[in-house]
Structure 1
Amino acid sequence: MRRWLRLALALSPFGLTAMTFVWLMTTNPFVAPFVARGTDQLAITLEREMARTVNPEWLVPRFQDAVAAKDLDRIELHIDLAQAYQIPLPPETLTLAGDIVAAQSGFVANSLSCAQCAVDISSCRSIAQLGACAVPFEVSPAGDLNALRRAGVNYATGAEVDELDLGLALVGLGATAAIVVSGGTSGTIKLGAGLIRTARRLGSLTPDFARILGGAARLPVNWSRVPAYLGGRAPLDEITDTVQLARLGAIAADLGRLRRNTDTAQALVLMRHIDSAEDAARLARVSDAAGPNTRRIMQVLGKSRVFRAMVRLSDATIGALAFGYALIVQILVFCGQQCGNLCLRRLRRLI
């Protein structure tokens, strides 16, 4: 009896661990092993990765390359990083950078007027001017109506209709009328639609993302009802399929959120990292956590590394792995103990 009691006591830790592990496995912890980090947790993770990456050995050569290339955006980015992480930069290179910044600022100050930039986006001489002048016009009802007018004229004359430009105009007008519902406020959707239009004209859209947007913008349009809609006598759903339009609106909402969390210039640059609607949603989530620092985080860590930081192992998966490891260790310890006891008994018999 005592022998069996000792055996039961010896096996009880192993048994409890095994039962817990079996119970955890019944919850299917490996079906969805990764979960999204919360906004605060993501912000901490990204800042930790930045602090680990940005050091003098990483920053100084890149700053010198930016100065040699006279790349104003990269120069300002690396100066900001040096200030944020208290990294000294070479004085002579810093002086050259100051001269480049002064020259570029003078060029911008003497560039074409904001009104001309708003009308002709190709005349904008800088991202900053484009963000200040062109985007406000593009996100206004006037910009949407102008795009719809262009599409109507092209349709009437038999010219090719720009489907994406038309779709974005309908998204913007629908957002103004609070018809398109895509999870964001109408202002955010409208802002995102204008941002897409501006990025497209600027050439900031990746080919994959442009193709996805083009597919989402292939909308049926009842051109005979457009005049009535423009006159306020017909709802948007008499012109096009608003359910299909909402898909494009959802992408616009994510990009509008990106713009609100950063600024126009940053958002236009960051759109070069977007290859799909999922990328747009992920980047919007990153901007929720990083705010105005989103661009420099993407620049330093890269798209893949940032997106990987957005997820972590779920608690259930960690628990299952821990109990699985404990179970294996206990089995090995138990087997080792039994082998040791067997060897010890045989040794005693020999003695």
Structure 2
Amino acid sequence: MRRAARAILTILLLASLIGTGYSTYRLATGWPSSLLVAHAEDRIGAALERALAKAATPDAFETRLATLLSEEPRNWLAVDALLELADERAIAISPAITEQIETARDHDSGYWQRTKACGACAIDPTTCTPGQLLACRVALDVTPFGDIVSLVRGATQYVTGGEVDTLDLGLAAVGLGATALALATGGSSMVIKGGATLLKVAKSAGRLPPALARALRRAFREGIDWPKVSAVRGFDDFGGVFRPRAMRPVTGALTDVNELRDSVGLAATLHMLPKAETLGDLSAYSRISRVAGQRTVGAFELLGNNRFVRLAMRWSDEVWWAISAVFAALVSLVGLLWSILSRACLTTLRRMARKPSQSA
């Protein structure tokens, strides 16, 4: 009986070790995306309510509001989103913070102050808040003429061996060739064009996150046939410019950005976009915004990027398999050790019990 139990425990231990090794391999080869996977949208709403119930305290609101009020220029989109969320959850803001908000709003909404800020934004887009981008800058960045200028300049630099800004040139090519790219990758030309336009505005304002910029540059290098770009003479010539497989990460990012804009608006999207640390963050923003709607920015400000993104994510099956396999291995190992120790103890006790009778 003991031998059978020990054999079963040994088999379980070996199986657990194999399972642990396989799960570890799956996690390592897919790192870091193998750790977390997308949550179903019907669970995002419940996760958001739990997170807000825990985090939405008067102190949390006032601390974040005080931080926003101390920034220059002040981001009134974020301030108003927090105030709306506090009002929705019946959380009263202290008179001191309320007075600071009113004083700062009166200062920033004056005619001279708004004219001065708008002029600075038009000259240097990196000084713009999301609201100022819409009012003072966005018309300069979204015209097809700007895409054409970028494309001609970039193609000329490529042919002549000059330094090419692949990000700027790639966005221009995608903006002008949205229909061809949509046909090549199975996307929607309007979605792709909308996402490219928004990223063009974000880039000009210095609001494009480094992770997204790197991913786009890599995809543009591999997914666009640059010698063919220099031969483009019209919209119909874009058909052979794109390599569909390499461009799919781009179309995915553009789709997420466009869906976020549809849910919360352009200004809110430009506010959230710089905080995205990975392409996965963009996907999380998009899915949460479809559930949260206009509460998205308020929740984003209150929870912070990491907690906000986790609302849309869950631990992957590989993680649970690895934990289960390690636990099973530990149980099997303890069982084997207990079997060996108990057998050794019983053998020792039998020997000790026989000695007196033998000497007698």
- 1:19 matched to 2:24? The reply is no
Tell me, what secondary structure is at the counterpart of 1:203?
Answer: coil
Q: 1:187 to 1:120 in 2, by over 3 A?
A: farther
What's the counterpart of residue 148 of structure 1? 148
Q: Aligned partners of 2:340 and 2:196: how far apart in 1?
A: 66
What's the counterpart of residue 39 of structure 1? 40
Poorly superposed stretches of 4+, deviation over 6 Å: 153-161, 346-351
Percent of aligned positions with the same letter in both sequences?
A: 23
What's the counterpart of residue 130 of structure 1? 133
Deviation at 1:288, TM superposition (A): 0.6
TM-score when scaled to structure 1?
0.69
Q: 1:155 to 1:308 in 2, by over 3 A?
A: closer
Root-mean-square deviation (Å)? 4.6
Q: Aligned partners of 1:131 and 1:164: how far apart in 2?
A: 22
What's the counterpart of residue 177 of structure 2? 174
Residue-by-residue CA offset, 1:154-180 (whole Å, 9 max, x unaligned): 878999876533322321232235645
- 1:203 matched to 2:199? The reply is no
Deviation at 1:16, TM superposition (A): 4.6
Unaligned runs of 5+ in 2: 28-34
1:1-351 residue pairs with structure 2 within 5 A? 5=1, 7=2, 12=5, 16=8, 18-27=10-19, 28-33=22-27, 34-40=35-41, 41=43, 44-45=46-47, 48-69=50-71, 71=74, 72-83=76-87, 85-101=89-105, 104=108, 122=125, 127-128=130-131, 130-131=133-134, 143-149=143-149, 151-152=151-152, 163-177=166-180, 179-182=182-185, 184-207=187-210, 209-210=212-213, 212-214=215-217, 216-217=219-220, 219=224, 220-222=226-228, 225-227=231-233, 229-230=234-235, 234-237=236-239, 240-243=241-244, 248-274=250-276, 279-291=278-290, 292=293, 293-304=295-306, 310-314=313-317, 315-331=320-336, 333-334=338-339, 337-338=342-343, 341=346
Q: 1:246 to 1:170 in 2, by over 3 A?
A: farther
Q: Aligned partners of 1:155 and 1:303: how far apart in 2?
A: 38
Asked if structure 2 preserves the Cα contact closer than 8 Å seen for 1:180 and 1:249, the reply is: no
Higher relative contact order (CA 8 A, sep 6+): 2
Q: Aligned partners of 1:313 and 1:344: how far apart in 2?
A: 50
Tell me, what secondary structure is at the counterpart of 2:26?
Answer: coil
Asked if structure 2 preserves the Cα contact closer than 8 Å seen for 1:255 and 1:280, the reply is: no
Question: What one-letter code is carried by the residue in structure 1 that aligns with 2:327?
Answer: A
Q: 1:254 to 1:74 in 2, by over 3 A?
A: closer
Tell me, what secondary structure is at the counterpart of 2:23?
Answer: coil
Q: Aligned partners of 2:186 and 2:256: how far apart in 1?
A: 9
Q: Aligned partners of 2:112 and 2:335: how far apart in 1?
A: 70
> What is the number of residues matched between the two proteins?
330
Q: 1:20 to 1:265 in 2, by over 3 A?
A: farther
Q: 1:48 to 1:80 in 2, by over 3 A?
A: same
Q: 1:77 to 1:265 in 2, by over 3 A?
A: same
Question: What one-letter code is carried by the residue in structure 2 that aligns with 1:199?
Answer: A
Unaligned runs of 5+ in 1: none
Q: Aligned partners of 1:108 and 1:22: how far apart in 2?
A: 76
> Mean Cα displacement is larger for which, 216-225 or 54-63?
216-225
